[in-house]
Amino acid sequence: MSDLNEGPDRTFTVGTTLPGTLGRTGVISTPHGEIQTPAFVPVGTKATVKTVVPEAVRDLGAQAVLANAYHLYLQPGPDIIDEAGGLGSFMNWPGPTFTDSGGFQVMSLGAGFKKVIAMDLTGMQNDDVIAEGKERLARVDDDGVTFKSHLDGSTHRFTPEVSMQIQHQLGADIIFGFDELTTLMNTRAYQETSLERTRLWAIRCLAEHNRLTAERSHRRLQSLWGVIQGAQYEDLRRKAARDLVTMSEKDVADGGRGFGGYGIGGALEKQNLGTIVRWVNEELPVDKARHLLGISEPDDIFTAIESGVDTFDCVSPSRVARNGAIYSLDGRYNVTNSRFRRDFTPLDPEIQNYTTQYTRAYIHHLFKAKEGLAATLCTIHNEHFIVTLVERARQAIIDGNYFEFRDEFLGRYYAGAAAR
């Protein structure tokens, strides 16, 4: 681990590149092990992937998990997790961990929209927008964010320094800079103001991260990743990426560790996903990892990989699983539909995982009987499906048959979905 503790943050190593694209394989090295990339990172918001024990998450093939600083700050509190030895020890997860900064929750609390980054709000712009029936629970200013807890209504304050302090106490291997997440409904003028605010916050995050790294030398080293915003605007996205790279280089020159990688955040239109990610990754150093927040649909996964993304996370596989939506090689379907009442085949007969021993009929029954095991089995299956899909894409890059694999997989997946 000594090589991780000295000099600039060099956690990422490039492997095989994908010809004609920005795609590549690689390895992220952390104090709790390596992550072979590209990799999908399951979300364990409150230090748990809902309904599934950590051992099962490891067994389904996940290499790392991501938890949420906002939620863990409110409950049980970062001091408790710090006392437990950090996030991994607290939740009995032996592998690498990520925490996001809480910036996503700022947008969600402030505007009340669903927790997705893909939005379709063509022609609608309003800087004071809020979802129908929602109360604004967060207010942003140049110094930070004041918000009300969704648990008890108490008032709290996040600044870049506070976010770093919380994430250092949580002890994840990879942490993210505190940023303001705008929506596509915000005006161009507001996007520019917000981008500058996030840039200044990133400078403060780096300074506090360096201070805490020195102060907490008894804890394992953490890697800070800067977050790139800019919504759907090419010039803003490229500027944000260049600014963070320059900032990181200056920090290293001044004796700091700089950013170990970069997160690509912000709301965006699904149809422009690849274009926006490509703008950003064309500006970022090749030897730094890139993480895309909030992506898990198969077509988005392939688009992200080809655009140079190394890791990504999303709550969707587990969230839809709790409602009976199942990923399969022939598209998504809902196991609660009546036609599965007497279907005695596995959730996907061609995929082998823990749930293979159970039938669709049984899981259909569990949902109808409102048994918690239904959500557990479907979550294991869905997380395994997405984790394995990304593993197969990684291997296809190495084997030189990525495009053939992509076309065959997506052709079958969406043809099957259309036929259901």
Q: Which two tokens stand for residue 91?
A: 């939740």
Non-local CB neighbours of 61 within 8 Å, separated by 6+ positions: 384, 387, 388, 391
Cα(17)–Cα(286) distance, rounded to whole angstroms?
11
Scored b (16 or more CB within 10 A) or e, 390-419 reads bbebbebbeeeebbebbeebeeebeeeeee
User: Hey, is 247 helix, strand or coil?
Assistant: helix
Q: Which two tokens stand for residue 396?
A: 């296809």
Beta-strand pair 174-176/97-100? parallel
Neighbouring CB atoms inside 10 A of 15's CB total 13
Chain-centroid distance, C-alpha 16: 23
User: Hey, is 168 helix, strand or coil?
Assistant: helix
Q: Which helix (H) or strand (E) holds 56?
A: helix 54-59
Neighbouring CB atoms inside 10 A of 203's CB total 16
**CA proximity to 312, closest of 325, 324, 333, 298:** 298
Catalytic: 287? no
Selecting among 9, 82, 300, 313, the annotated active-site residue is 313
Selecting among 100, 173, 243, 300, the annotated active-site residue is 100
First to last CA, the chain: 51
Cα(193)–Cα(418) distance, rounded to whole angstroms?
43
What is the per-residue DSSP string for 262-306? EEE-S-B-GGGHHHHHHHHHHHS-TTSEEEEET--SHHHHHHHHH
Q: Which two tokens stand for residue 391?
A: 């593993």
What is the per-residue DSSP string for 220-234? PP-EEEEEE--TT-H
Catalytic: 127? no
Q: Write down the H helix ranges in 75-159.
A: 78-83, 87-91, 103-111
Residue numbers annotated as active site: 100, 313
